[in-house]
Structure 1
Amino acid sequence: MTAKIAHARLLCQSLTIGALILGALPAHAQQATGKSFVDDFDKIDRSFWYVSDGWNNGAHQNCTWSKNQVKAEGGMLQLTFAEGRSKDRNYLCGEIQTKKRFSYGTYEARIKSATGKGLNSAFFTYIGPADKQQHDEIDFEVLGKDTSTVQVNQYIKAKGGNEKLVPVGQGADQGFNDYAFVWEAGRLRYYLNGKLVQDVTDPSKIPQNPQKIFFSLWGTDKLSDWMGKFAYTQPTTMEIDRVAYTAPGDKCQFQGSIACTLN
């Protein structure tokens, strides 16, 4: 047997063993490629983050995603909502999403929301039809009609109805707050500024599919009952100071992380 043939056979055996191991893993684990990280947004890492640009999420959204509304400045990720014509929309807005999907673990972000009725400042995870998956989602959303609260919610196979409004204390647009959730197979916990504010233990209300991490700021003329009657006055910005994901069993990613205190 020549050295080349031996190497090829060993490579084939390795690939076969790898495929068998992968096949033995749950589908959930196979789809998740994201690992523990912390990002302080000194810059936007385009190999890690995808910046939405040139479309919108449907008729309910009155702005077009624009890469020009997304920037890192002063150690902050800034997403801006501003007047500007693009296609059939009169406003521009910003969104980023991870390129990889993440599974169970601890998700944390330090955020100052935008100001304005009819706006939504969101930190969430999502997977859906665009990724050839069922719609699963876990949300923190500050609705412009009342920035003294944040809404937590989750979707399982496109079914929502799990909303809860949590008092922020000061306005979410007046300063930075720490938003976190701990996602496990049989439990989903939401935290605000280190305090547990929602504890979900019903498996039918907990997403199962790995998801991408999103930050978005968008507006609406149509969903006034939910987000307030839209009234534009001037550009407004959502700021993200930090985001982190800690996989189960990994060390916490920064001092003060919820993951440092979990049992």
Structure 2
Amino acid sequence: MNCNLKALALRTATLLIASCASVQAQETGASFVENFDSLDMKQWFVSDGWNNGGHQNCTWSKDLVRVEGGRLILGFEERQMKDRAYACGEIQTRKRYGYGTYEARMKAASGSGFNSAFFSYIGETDKQPHDEIDFEVLGKNEGQVQVNQYIGGKGGNEKLVPVEGGADRKFNDYAFVWQKDRLRYYLNGRLVHEVTDPAKIPQHPQKIFASLWGSDTLKDWMGAFAYKGPNRMEVDRIAYTAPGEKCLFPESVTCATN
């Protein structure tokens, strides 16, 4: 191969690499802080008109998602929607996010049989493997939060972490730092769990969710469902910080970990 052909091949390879990097950058969202002064519909998608399967006793309803006093309110109430006797609220980002720091400040709902969740997820609906990273407050014991992750649809990585004062009585800060070879969970700025086994760390970019739902069937996990009237979960802030970027707000765990 002559020098001109070598130069052309090198330039083509460089352009191809740059193009692939550009596509990857477009597939994952940029850093943000959402303080819920309003609900930006360009950023967020509100789940409405379906449920996640037979285990869920409520149908997602846009009517149970609202912003009030700088907080996101996700509600749960008795209301017949399709084949479910209850309605509930969920939001999710429109974009997917990769490695970085995910944070939420929230107050969970109370009551056995309820699940107040902040998590990242991607799966079959987006024609991707099921990867997921979770914080879930199970209403049978609001003094704990469960962390967990799914890799290719395989879970079984649960760990329960005490929440001093109760996850439903005050706002708490939940965060996870997701890296290729390490996943760290934080509660109120304190490291509470670390995963270093590559087989237990998701690899696919995911959307960010906040949701409140109930179940009649998952009694062993969530407790017996006990509806005592309209319920709610409140979210004060959700944030994502891309790797290598400075912390975006004073309370962020990235201020201490970077």
TM-score by length of 1: 0.90
Q: Which residue of 2 aligns with 1:243?
A: 238
Q: For the Cα contact (< 8 Å) 1:33–1:101, is it kept in 2? A: yes
**Counterpart selection for 2:203 from 202, 205, 208:** 208
Deviations 1:165-213 (A, max 9, x none): 0000111000000000000000000000000000101010000000000
% identical equivalent positions: 66
- CA offsets, 1:133-171, max 9 Å, x none? 000000000001000000000000000000000000111
Q: Does 1:225 align with 2:204?
A: no
In structure 2, distance between residues paired with 1:91 and 1:191: 32
Check the 8 A contact 1:63/1:90 in 2, yes or no.
Answer: yes
Rounded to whole Å, the distance in 1 between the matches of 2:26 and 2:115 is 29
Is the CA contact (8 Å cut-off) linking 1:117 and 1:227 kept in structure 2? yes
Q: Which amino acid aligns with 1:98?
A: T
Match of 1:154, as an amino acid?
Answer: Q
Report runs of 4+ in structure 1 exceeding 2 Å deviation: 16-19, 21-27, 29-33
**Paired positions, count:** 247
User: Is 1:138 equivalent to 2:118 in the alignment?
Assistant: no
Spell out the pairing of 1:1-263 with structure 2 (5 A cutoff): 20-21=16-17, 24-25=20-21, 29=24, 32-263=27-258
Distance of aligned partners of 1:17 and 1:97 in 2 relative to their CA distance in 1, 3 Å threshold: farther
2:9 alignment partner in structure 1: none
The 1-side partners of 2:22 and 2:29 are apart by 16
Q: TM-score, normalised by structure 2?
A: 0.92
How many angstroms does 1:32 deviate by?
Answer: 3.5
For the aligned residue pairs, the C-alpha RMSD in angstroms reads 1.7
| CA–CA distance in structure 2, aligned partners of residues 132 and 39 of structure 1 | 27
- Is the 1:31–1:210 Cα contact (8 Å) retained in structure 2? no
Structure 1, gaps ≥5 residues long: 1-15
Q: Is the 8 A contact 1:41 1:77 kept in 2?
A: yes
Counterpart CA distance in 1 for 2:247 and 2:14 is 29
Alpha-carbon distance, 1:24 to partner:
4.3
CA distance in structure 2 between the aligned counterparts of 1:97 and 1:82, rounded to whole angstroms: 20
Instruction: Give 1:242's aligned amino acid.
Output: R
